[in-house]
Amino acid sequence: MRLLEGRSVVVTGGARGIGRAIAEACLEHGGRVVLADVDADAAEKTAAELARDGAEVLPVGCDVTAETDVENMVARCAEAYGSVDVLVNNAGITRDATLRTMDSDQFRQVMDVHLYGTWLGTKYASLRMRDQGHGSIINISSISGKVGLPGQTNYSAAKAGIVGMTKAAAKELAHLGVRVNAVQPGLVRTAMTEALRPEIWQEKLAGVPMGRAAEPAEVGSVVLFLASDLSSYMTGTVLEVTGGRHM
């Protein structure tokens, strides 16, 4: 069963890591994907790799903190595929430092990409979805936004804000046929986490009851569920994908 047959999906931060895994999951189930990333060259390269066996992938350079970029990203999806059925607000960065050593730029950059970027994407996608009478928006939060992690006051605040935004938007948009949900991954094996010092990686891994990190595809499958009709009566929901960490 192909869960997204013929539907259009926009994935921000789609060139690598969790974003790429989300795009792959959607393509495997018949979706047509707009692969958006601030690194336009990386988006082009990933799109070329994924566009096989007739898969439809449109790379778009997009800085999620630039309103015109986000508006264009959504418009490109509508022009290419005729609708904007799913948006995944996945783009993110880290600028880790302790509270006392973090500077204003480190704080603002993370807040802008995660929180403002998610708000912009939700705003412009929901305008299209309102006119269609349907849509699914999935916001990528983090377990950091639930429990807070040392060295990530900026990231934890932004990811917690995404949860509040998700719930507020879900209430505003439900009567329009638009669902808004969020996913909170825990420790996921990506290039970013694999760059951690070995002792920090082992410390984080020790806190996972399942004894391993998630693969990006395991987050992608949960996003696929929220994008599809299998979750048709779910909105304002936050799903943890953590292997039991911080439960």
Complete domains list, the chain, with CATH: 8-240 (3.40.50.720)
Q: Residue 47 pLDDT more than 90?
A: yes
Q: Tell me the average pLDDT across 119-142.
A: 98
Asked if residues 4 and 230 have their Cβ atoms less than 8 Å apart, the reply is no
pLDDT of residue 190: 86
Residues 6+ apart with CB under 8 A from 30: 2, 3, 4, 5, 6, 7
Q: Which candidate in 81, 124, 155, 233 is catalytic?
A: 155
CA distance 222 to 116: 24
pLDDT of residue 51: 93
pLDDT in tens, 198-245: 888 888 889 899 999 999 999 999 999 999 999 999 999 999 999 998
Q: Tell me the average pLDDT across 36-54.
A: 94
The answer, as to whether pTM is greater than 0.85, is: yes
Q: Tell me the average pLDDT across 22-33.
A: 98
CA distance 180 to 235: 5
Asked if residues 141 and 163 have their Cβ atoms less than 8 Å apart, the reply is yes
Read off φ and ψ for residue 218, nearest 5 degrees: -75, -25
pLDDT of residue 166: 98
> Annotated catalytic, 155?
yes
